[in-house]
């Protein structure tokens, strides 16, 4: 595995921030349901795939006695490709439902997708539901320059220089796969017992309350 320089790591942080994923979870049906019911959710995912380049160069330096270096051209480029996406939805702590995609979104594209899913609830209680996205991107960074060198000789008021000799330098040429995770805000779901079960439960409670009110008879 290649060890990345501090410059590369700082650029990676910039790229990750600029291409931050957006993930939203919104209910499409009532969030209070009976046991055995389902809640429909819409998952929305969006992420821009970074694609930028920068180039610049310094002006030619004035003749000076000794060995001179001139960075006449400098460039940086960064490219992201979204290769795989796994969406998940489910109660926190439970086993989520999953939806896998291979987007193949190229650098410079704003990729978006939606997923309509129904989540079942088999036990009563209150649940916190979230959506998650496992994002796989191929990333590429290149940095380099065209550098000229020459030697100048002479005196302070009379300097003669060789012609510039140029060569290309590749400073960084890194390609790697990055796995990141995005998470939506939470949605609360309430699952209540079925009406028949609720009535039986109420009757049982009432019966226990009646027994508690029956006075105890002493022995005759």
Bigger pLDDT: 83 or 13? Answer: 83
- Tens of pLDDT, residue by residue over 39-60, are 999 999 999 999 999 999 999 9
Task: Give yes or no for residue 155 having a pLDDT over 60.
Answer: yes
Report residue 202's pLDDT band, with 50, 70 and 90 as the boundaries: low
The mean pLDDT value of the chain amounts to: 86
Task: Give yes or no for residue 144 having a pLDDT over 80.
Answer: yes
Identify the pLDDT of residue 160. Answer: 93
Identify the pLDDT of residue 15. Answer: 44
Q: Where are the domains of the chain?
A: 6-213
Report residue 13's pLDDT band, with 50, 70 and 90 as the boundaries: very low
pTM for the whole structure:
0.72
Task: Give yes or no for residue 148 having a pLDDT over 70.
Answer: yes
Report residue 164's pLDDT band, with 50, 70 and 90 as the boundaries: very high
What whole-number percentage of the chain has pLDDT above 90?
76
Identify the pLDDT of residue 149. Answer: 97
Task: Give yes or no for residue 125 having a pLDDT over 70.
Answer: yes
Least-confidence region, from 7-16, 135-144, 154-163, 182-191: 7-16
Strands 32-34 and 51-56: unpaired
The topology under which CATH files domain 6-213 is Immunoglobulin-like (2.60.40)
Residue burial 104-141, b: 16+ Cβ < 10 Å; e: rest: ebebebebebebebebebeeeeebebbbbbebbbbbbb
């Amino acid at each position: 595995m290649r060890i990345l320089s501090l410059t590369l790591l700082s650029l990676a942080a910039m790229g990750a921030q600029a291409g931050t994923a957006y993930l939203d979870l919104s209910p499409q049906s009532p969030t209070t349901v009976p046991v055995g019911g389902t809640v429909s959710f819409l998952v929305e995912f969006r992420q821009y795939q970074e694609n930028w380049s920068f180039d610049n160069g310094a002006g030619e330096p004035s003749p000076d006695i000794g060995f001179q270096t001139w960075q006449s051209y400098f460039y940086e480029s960064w490219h992201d490709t979204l290769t795989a996406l796994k969406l998940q939805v489910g109660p926190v702590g439970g086993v989520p439902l999953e939806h896998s995609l291979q987007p193949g979104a190229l650098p410079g594209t704003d990729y978006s997708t939606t997923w309509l899913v129904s989540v079942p609830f088999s036990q009563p209680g209150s649940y916190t539901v979230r959506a998650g996205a496992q994002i796989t991107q191929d990333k590429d960074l290149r940095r380099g320059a065209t550098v000229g060198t020459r030697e100048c000789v002479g005196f302070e008021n009379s300097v003669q220089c060789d012609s510039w000799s140029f060569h290309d330098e590749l400073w960084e040429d890194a390609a790697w796969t990055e796995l990141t995770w995005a998470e939506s805000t939470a949605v609360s779901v309430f699952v209540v017992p079925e009406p028949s079960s609720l009535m039986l439960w109420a009757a049982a409670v009432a019966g226990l309350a009646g027994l508690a009110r029956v006075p105890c008879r002493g022995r005759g």
